[in-house]
Amino acid sequence: MAITAPKGTRDILPEESYKWVYLEEEIRCLCSLYRYEEIRTPMFEKTELFVRGVGQETDIVQKEMYTFEHRDKESFSLKPEGTAAVVRAYGENKLYTLPQPVKLYYLTPCFRAERPQKGRYRQFHQFGIEVLGTKSAGIDAEVIALAARLFKQLKIENIKLYINSVGCGKCREAYYHTLKTFLATKLDVLCEDCQKRYEKNPMRVLDCKEETCQAALQEAPYMVDYLCEECEEHFAEVKENLQLMQVAYEINPRIVRGLDYYEKTAFEFVTEDIGAQGTICGGGRYDGLSELIGGPKTPGIGFGMGLERLLMLVGDKLPAKKAALQIYIASMGRQAEKKAQEMVEQLRAQGICAEKDFMQRSLKSQMKYADKLGAENVLILGDEEINAGTAEIKNMQTGEQCRVSIKTTEQFVADYKAGVKKA
Ligand code: HAM
């Protein structure tokens, strides 16, 4: 039986890969406009990084990591997300000695052993932003504005930005008490996962997608109503800055995010246009993460955006692939084929996109093939042409033909540029 790709992974074929390149270029341009620089971290890290960073009790760490042991028994995991590694790299490479804040972006595959479905894969790709070194609410708004600008540039309309504050260690303690008192009255109707969450991380119960849980949570107390003074002020500033930057948002007290490192700002961009997995982008502030993984005390904020989901939204709107094939060289006979092989490379050396036949096609089939490839011009070579030192070149759009020199590629290019191209 033929070997297939692992479940939850996909091949990105040429008919789609050019869209990825287009999106990645848009992203890189936008990041440089906002002065974010690229960081690349390893595909795998010590498992401990994610256990401590993302959180022992999260679904990611409990159920979804691809973990393996090295010969010396050290445990490693494929990265399930980008933030923990960037924060590790910031401390390890002493990026705190640079002028702050340090504004970084990445484009990376991530790996999560989830149940695959539309928009949910085991290997997926994230565009991520991380800003380290400032608590300023202005940067929270900038990070969110950058994502919003990308959606605008890509002409995505049906997308909503939800923001929330998930407080800090201080205010969460009092809130957890109130939340747990409320949840205790609903425990018998909550799903099995939520019963566990009730003990370890009660706020995550709010995020449960189960209908029975959602119904039971109608009257649940929300973190935003229990913020300490500092968090309250920070949240007010984030909202004010978003308004200054003209980014439309909605407050959604149920946004709690699935990773444990968040504090204060949490946000998601959600669409209803691509089915159940409608969260295109999620992020927030993580002021305690660096210390949690043994690094310097450093505030941070960022987001992760799923590129598969983004492509599902914009794929059809992207410009069509057309790296124009300028010259196809059709040849008949051994001499002519040799000449074609030589010329095609010399043309490329001069920056002209050229192609020839490699399938021993007849002249007629070569003409058809050139047409399929969308060739702008076809140069026709046979023994006669080689002897004469001139050949016909045909403009495939207008059907016009003209005679050009093929004695040297330089002469040919001069003729081509002077005549055919304009024709
Ligand atoms: P996350 O919400 O786990 O956050 O993932 C961010 C985005 O990655 C999601 O909104 C979704 O678009 C995409 N995504 C997640 N899992 C999958 C999957 N299995 N298949 C396809 N797409 C997926 C984080 O990863 C945080 N590190 C974000 C962050 C950065 N927070 C602060 N800085």
CATH number where 23 lies: 3.30.930.10
Which residues, given as ranges, of the chain have pLDDT below 50?
421-423
Position 295 scores a pLDDT of 97
User: Does one domain contain both 154 and 277?
Assistant: yes
Does one domain contain both 34 and 139?
Answer: yes
Q: What CATH number is attached to the domain comprising 401?
A: 3.40.50.800
Report the distance separating Cα 415 and Cα 86, nearest Å. 54
Classify residue 39: in a domain, yes or no.
Answer: yes
* 331 and 304 together in one domain: no
Does 130 lie in the same domain as 19?
Answer: yes
- 120 Cα nearest atom in ligand 1: 20
388 shares a domain with 263: no
Out of 255, 285, 317, a domain closes at: 317
Answer whether residue 179 is part of any domain. no
Domain termination residue (choose one: 317, 352, 379): 317
Based on the fold, state whether residues 38 and 153 are members of the same structural domain: yes
Which pLDDT score is estimated for 377? 96
Ligand 1 touching residue 287 (CB < 6 A): no
Q: Give the global pTM.
A: 0.93
pLDDT given for residue 318 in this prediction: 85
Asked if residue 181 belongs to a domain, the reply is no
* 125 lies in the same domain as 19: yes
Range(s) of the domain holding residue 395: 327-422
pLDDT of residue 422: 45
Number of domains making up the chain: 2
Mutate to test the pocket of ligand 1, among 110, 263, 269, 280 (most ligand atoms within 8 A of CB): 110
Q: 239 and 292: one domain?
A: yes
* Domain assignment present for 339: yes
Q: Could you tell me if the CB of 309 is within 6 A of ligand 1?
A: yes
Asked if the structure places residue 194 within a domain, the reply is no
pLDDT score for 322? 66
